[in-house]
């Protein structure tokens, strides 16, 4: 076949083969394991009934054993041509089985026939699927095991190939020099075949033969030396399982030939077609003999009983009892009632002491819990005052007629909402603190931020920002619902946004393909609208100060939600800028703000311009994985625009002829947003209007957006005065922010 020499080397009929070395040989006396007047031993191997030596000593021919004298003068039990090593009443028989092999002695392929199994066509024996494995050894070898299973034909095989001996790994049968296959249940009457692909001519110098055999798992560990030396050790240990008859216990127990004797039970093994017998608990011996199961005297072995005193162990039929000394009562067992002094007065005193102890313990625990609860209440009250709870409550009382006000949550309410802040509900964490997902009593899903830091000197500012931000009601801004002031660090409660951050959707490749250009433009327009609202419509105006893609969340409809006001500033209307320590995220920071520490609303415009570039290119704002001159996305983008390479830096598959004009306009808008001087940048109001106009380009052909700033100003009308919305605070609080999936405007962290 195709130049290969397919050679059947050996056919081995095995009635049924079963598992390995019997670990628990029968402990009955020598004259109690076989039938009366029948040999009980052959050499050093015990032959228990239903096995037997000689006519009338075995159950049927399937269990007949020959006791033969070997060349070394020792007697060995055999089943046909197979040497029996051990027989267990628990249902196993250990045998020595020869390998089958195919060899090339240098002059061609030769076959060596060696009987390697039990040639018994009987369902009494099955090969042990738990203790044996089918093995083939060789570098030019494939082997088959065929037989019967559930009255049908069965076959399986494996292949072992290797080019040289150095490729072979010791201790593993993965197909290089050695392969193995697990054996399923109820396999009998097996035939082993081994073949060679190329007559071993390619590997003759180190592997002249191929072998196949069934072996006990724990006794075989492959070694590369077997490729040349296994032919010198052809006897392999394996295990058979055996059962009685061809029926299960349910039917066999009603038949006249049922073999389980007195004080025994019937068992249906998984790997077999018949049944087995076993002695009941408290009995030992051969359950296949009429009176083979004898009572075990548990009192003779301390390991078989659990009496508190071995001297007070009393053996009974199939069990034992324990007694107690005089004046004591109980069952005398270590795991039971043991033995207790049975004096009335002593019992009464003991009961009184026990009851008194229990009462004292309960009352002490009760008092401890009351004191602990009071301390907790006082601690919460102290935290509430320290965190400005009194001020916030007064402010809220003045806003009772407001449509939206912040709610003060209790510590218990948020503890219950987060299942005591269970770790499985963590949806974001970092140096700022931890954010949990929670469900309030009214079934609202919220995000609860538990921060790490607090600045007690800025409590009044913190309360003011909570009041202002909680009243912001814009569909593109994450809603602050309230706070809890009963903990050392205030807890902030926000609406929960389900789809994660824009950063994840842009930069995780498995998600970025799902965001079309239309969706990206929509997200950009909604984000710009939210920032424009904060700069122009909020009172007082708010500079976000940390605009970035990871602070833009997406809800179930992929609507943009601006989040994370942890570093934001509330700006009095009479100021246009504020001197403050630089805070923000590298890659998004306004260069002018970095140089002067002068914070204006144009700093948010710069950061938004970087987000536009992210949406266009799919690249991160700052990445040290890129070449040095491309690490800053803003600088790299400006360079590409200057060199007229816009469509080279756009994200793959983003450009189409239909959206080419939009892409150019958005790129031009981004370029204007990231100008070095803030006064040269458009306001967020202008940016929002221009993006909204671009979104309508496809819907209304008469709506166009110019490719330069002059045309944009013409379409928008008179250029807005950005200084009108710039703000300043001389001393303010910086609150940490939520990351990843949730957003926390600010907290007590400074």
Q: Which residues contact 372 (CB under 8 A, 6 or more apart)?
A: none
Low-confidence winner among 202-211, 253-262, 509-518, 590-599 (lowest mean pLDDT): 509-518
Q: Which residues contact 609 (CB under 8 A, 6 or more apart)?
A: 634, 669, 670, 671, 672, 673, 674, 681
State how far the Cα of 691 lies from the Cα of 529, in Å rounded to an integer: 9
Greater model confidence, 513 or 207: 207
State how far the Cα of 93 lies from the Cα of 475, in Å rounded to an integer: 78
pLDDT at 594 over 50: yes
Q: Is the pTM above the cut of 0.85?
A: no
Q: Decide if 77 is inside a domain.
A: no
pLDDT at 573 over 50: no
Predicted pLDDT of residue 741: 32
Q: Is 748 left (phi over 0), alpha (psi -120 to 50) or beta?
A: alpha
Q: Which of 312, 341, 370 is the endpoint of a domain?
A: 341
Residue 288 sits in the same domain as residue 304: no
Token pair belonging to 688: 């929002």
- Cβ proximity of 744 and 447 under 8 Å: yes
State how far the Cα of 440 lies from the Cα of 455, in Å rounded to an integer: 28
- What number of residues does the chain have? 750
Q: Decide if 626 is inside a domain.
A: yes
Q: What is the DSSP string of 34-95?
A: S-TTS--EETTEE--TTSBSSTTSSSSGGGB-EEEE-TTS-EEEEETTEEEEEEETTTEEEE
Predicted pLDDT of residue 566: 59
State how far the Cα of 3 lies from the Cα of 447, in Å rounded to an integer: 71
Map residue 123 onto helix, strand or coil.
coil
Where residue 70 falls among pLDDT bands split at 50, 70, 90?
A: confident
State how far the Cα of 586 lies from the Cα of 500, in Å rounded to an integer: 21
Question: What are the distances in angstroms from CA 530 to CA 537, 586, 604?
Answer: 10, 22, 12
Q: Decide if 591 is inside a domain.
A: yes
For this structure, is 546 an active site residue? yes
Predicted pLDDT of residue 3: 31
Residue 636 sits in the same domain as residue 533: yes
Q: What is the pLDDT of residues 476-515, one digit of tens each?
A: 998 888 888 888 888 888 889 888 889 988 888 766 557 8
Active-site residue, from 140, 241, 546, 736: 546
pLDDT at 34 over 80: yes
Question: What does the pLDDT average to over 519-526?
Answer: 94
Token pair belonging to 171: 């201790």
State how far the Cα of 472 lies from the Cα of 485, in Å rounded to an integer: 21
612 phi, psi to nearest 5 deg: -60, -40
Q: Which residues contact 498 (CB under 8 A, 6 or more apart)?
A: 555, 556
Nearest Cα to 673, choosing from 632, 636, 634, 717? 634
Q: Decide if 687 is inside a domain.
A: yes
Q: What is the pLDDT of residues 546-557, one digit of tens each?
A: 899 988 999 888
Residue 260 sits in the same domain as residue 329: no
Burial class (CB in 10 A: 0-12, 13-18, 19+), 610: buried
State how far the Cα of 633 lies from the Cα of 606, in Å rounded to an integer: 13
State how far the Cα of 357 lies from the Cα of 365, in Å rounded to an integer: 12
Where residue 576 falls among pLDDT bands split at 50, 70, 90?
A: low
Predicted pLDDT of residue 354: 87
Question: What does the pLDDT average to over 267-273?
Answer: 93
238 phi, psi to nearest 5 deg: -150, 175
State how far the Cα of 134 lies from the Cα of 145, in Å rounded to an integer: 8
Q: Decide if 378 is inside a domain.
A: no
How many CA atoms within 13 Å lie on the side-chain side of 248? 5
Residue 335 sits in the same domain as residue 214: no
Residue 401 sits in the same domain as residue 450: yes
Nearest Cα to 24, choosing from 70, 96, 86, 66? 86
C-alpha 581: how far from its chain's center? 44
Nearest Cα to 578, choosing from 540, 607, 613, 547? 540
Q: How many domains does the structure of the chain reveal?
A: 5
Q: Which of 211, 236, 261 is the endpoint of a domain?
A: 236
State how far the Cα of 480 lies from the Cα of 744, in Å rounded to an integer: 8
Count the Cβ atoms, other than its own, within 10 Å of residue 555.
16
Indicate the Cα dihedral angle 71, 76, 79, 83, nearest 10°: -70
Predicted pLDDT of residue 487: 82
116 phi, psi to nearest 5 deg: -135, 25
- End-to-end distance of the chain based on CA atoms, in angstroms? 81
Q: What is the pLDDT of residues 629-656, one digit of tens each?
A: 888 999 999 999 999 999 989 988 888 8
Q: What is the domain-level CATH number for residue 446?
A: 3.30.200.20
Predicted pLDDT of residue 458: 62
Greater model confidence, 2 or 175: 175
pLDDT at 740 over 50: no
Q: Is 450 assigned to a binding site?
A: yes
Residue 318 sits in the same domain as residue 203: no
Which domain does 308 fall in, by range? Answer: 297-341
pLDDT at 355 over 50: yes
511 phi, psi to nearest 5 deg: -105, -30
Residue 290 sits in the same domain as residue 319: no
Range among 107-116, 162-171, 273-282, 327-336 with highest mean pLDDT value: 273-282
Q: What is the Cα Rg of the chain in Å?
A: 43
State the chain's mean pLDDT as an integer: 80
State how far the Cα of 301 lies from the Cα of 185, in Å rounded to an integer: 38
Question: What are the distances in angstroms from CA 49 to CA 258, 515, 565?
Answer: 14, 77, 85
Residue 224 sits in the same domain as residue 313: no
Residue 264 sits in the same domain as residue 323: no
Residue 613 sits in the same domain as residue 472: no
State how far the Cα of 292 lies from the Cα of 277, in Å rounded to an integer: 11
Q: Decide if 358 is inside a domain.
A: no
Residue 209 sits in the same domain as residue 315: no
Kind of pairing, strands 480-484 and 407-408? parallel
Predicted pLDDT of residue 10: 32
Residue 694 sits in the same domain as residue 635: yes
Residue for token pair 């997406």 = 554
Q: Which of 444, 464, 495 is the endpoint of a domain?
A: 495
- Cβ proximity of 744 and 737 under 8 Å: yes
Greater model confidence, 285 or 98: 285
Q: What is the pLDDT of residues 372-431, one digit of tens each?
A: 888 877 877 777 777 777 777 777 766 655 556 778 888 889 999 999 999 999 887 755
State how far the Cα of 12 lies from the Cα of 558, in Å rounded to an integer: 69
Nearest Cα to 126, choosing from 96, 149, 157? 149
Q: What is the domain-level CATH number for residue 624?
A: 1.10.510.10
Q: What DSSP element (H or E) covers 532?
A: helix 517-536
State how far the Cα of 57 lies from the Cα of 60, in Å rounded to an integer: 9
Q: Decide if 221 is inside a domain.
A: yes
Q: Decide if 698 is inside a domain.
A: yes
Question: What does the pLDDT average to over 187-197?
Answer: 89
Q: What is the pLDDT of residues 86-106, one digit of tens each?
A: 999 999 999 988 888 888 877
State how far the Cα of 693 lies from the Cα of 682, in Å rounded to an integer: 15
Token pair belonging to 257: 């030939």
């Amino acid at each position: 076949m195709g130049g290969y020499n397919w050679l059947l080397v050996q056919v081995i009929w095995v009635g049924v083969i079963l598992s390995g070395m019997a670990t628990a040989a029968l402990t009955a006396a020598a004259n109690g394991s076989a039938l009366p007047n029948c040999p009980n031993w052959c050499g050093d191997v015990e032959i228990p009934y239903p096995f037997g030596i000689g006519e009338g000593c075995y159950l049927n021919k399937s269990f007949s054993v020959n006791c033969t004298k070997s060349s070394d003068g020792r007697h060995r039990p055999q089943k046909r041509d197979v040497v029996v090593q051990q027989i267990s009443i628990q249902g196993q028989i250990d045998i020595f089985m020869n390998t089958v092999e195919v060899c090339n002695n240098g002059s061609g392929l030769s076959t060596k026939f060696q009987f390697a199994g039990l040639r018994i066509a009987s369902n009494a024996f099955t090969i042990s699927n738990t203790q044996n494995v089918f093995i083939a050894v060789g570098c030019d070898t494939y082997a088959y095991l065929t037989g019967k299973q559930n009255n049908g034909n069965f076959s399986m095989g494996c292949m072992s190939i290797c080019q040289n001996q150095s490729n072979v790994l010791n201790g593993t049968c993965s197909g290089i020099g050695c392969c193995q296959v697990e054996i399923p249940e109820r396999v009998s009457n097996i035939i082993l075949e081994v073949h060679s692909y190329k007559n071993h001519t390619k590997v003759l110098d180190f592997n002249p033969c191929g072998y196949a055999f069934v072996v006990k798992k724990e006794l075989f560990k492959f070694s590369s030396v077997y490729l040349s030396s296994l032919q010198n050790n052809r006897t392999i240990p394996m295990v058979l399982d055996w059962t009685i008859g061809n029926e299960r216990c349910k039917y066999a127990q009603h038949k006249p030939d049922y073999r389980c004797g007195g004080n025994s039970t019937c068992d249906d093994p998984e790997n077999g077609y018949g049944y087995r017998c076993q002695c009941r608990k408290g009995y030992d011996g051969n359950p296949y003999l009429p009176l083979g199961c004898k009572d075990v005297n548990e009192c003779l072995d301390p390991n078989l009983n659990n009496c508190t005193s071995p001297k007070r162990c009393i053996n009974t039929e199939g069990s034992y009892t324990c007694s107690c000394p005089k004046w004591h009562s109980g069952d005398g067992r270590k795991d039971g009632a043991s033995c207790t002094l049975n004096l009335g007065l002593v019992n009464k005193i003991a009961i009184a002491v026990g009851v008194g102890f229990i009462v004292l313990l309960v009352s002490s625990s009760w008092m401890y819990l009351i004191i602990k609860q009071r301390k907790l209440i006082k601690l919460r009250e102290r935290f509430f005052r320290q965190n400005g709870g009194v001020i916030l409550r007064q402010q809220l009382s003045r806003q009772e007629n407001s449509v939206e006000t912040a709610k003060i949550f209790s510590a218990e309410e948020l503890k219950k909402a987060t299942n005591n802040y269970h770790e499985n509900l963590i949806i974001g964490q970092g140096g700022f603190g931890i954010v949990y997902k929670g469900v309030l009593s009214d079934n609202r899903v919220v995000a609860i931020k538990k921060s790490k830091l607090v600045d007690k000197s800025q409590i009044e500012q913190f309360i003011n920002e909570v009041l202002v931000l909680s009243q912001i009601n814009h569909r593109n801004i994450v809603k602050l619902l309230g706070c809890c002031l009963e903990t050392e660090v205030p807890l902030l409660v926000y609406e929960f946004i389900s789809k994660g951050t824009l950063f994840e959707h842009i930069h995780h490749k498995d998600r970025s393909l799902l965001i079309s250009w239309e969706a990206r433009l929509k997200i950009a327009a909604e984000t710009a609208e939210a920032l424009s609202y904060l700069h122009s419509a909020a009172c007082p105006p708010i500079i976000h100060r940390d605009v970035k893609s990871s602070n833009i969340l997406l809800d179930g409809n992929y609507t943009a939600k601006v989040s994370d006001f942890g570093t934001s500033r509330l700006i009095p209307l009479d100021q246009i800028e504020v001197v403050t320590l630089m805070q923000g995220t590298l890659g998004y920071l306004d260069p002018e703000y970095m140089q002067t520490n002068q914070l204006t609303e144009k700093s948010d415009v710069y950061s938004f311009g970087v987000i536009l570039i992210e949406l266009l290119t799919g690249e991160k704002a700052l990445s040290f994985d890129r070449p040095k001159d491309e690490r800053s996305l803003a600088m790299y983008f400006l360079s590409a625009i200057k060199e007229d390479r816009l469509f080279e830096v756009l994200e793959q598959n983003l450009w189409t002829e239909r959206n080419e004009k939009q892409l150019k306009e958005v790129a031009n808008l981004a370029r204007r947003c990231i100008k070095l001087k803030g006064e040269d940048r458009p306001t967020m109001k202008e940016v929002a209007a221009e993006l909204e106009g671009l979104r309508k380009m496809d819907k209304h052909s008469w709506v166009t957006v110019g490719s330069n700033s002059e045309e944009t100003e013409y379409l928008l009308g008179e250029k807005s005065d950005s200084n009108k919305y710039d703000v300043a605070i001389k001393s303010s609080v910086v609150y940490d922010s939520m990351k990843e999936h949730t957003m926390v405007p600010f907290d007590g962290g400074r």
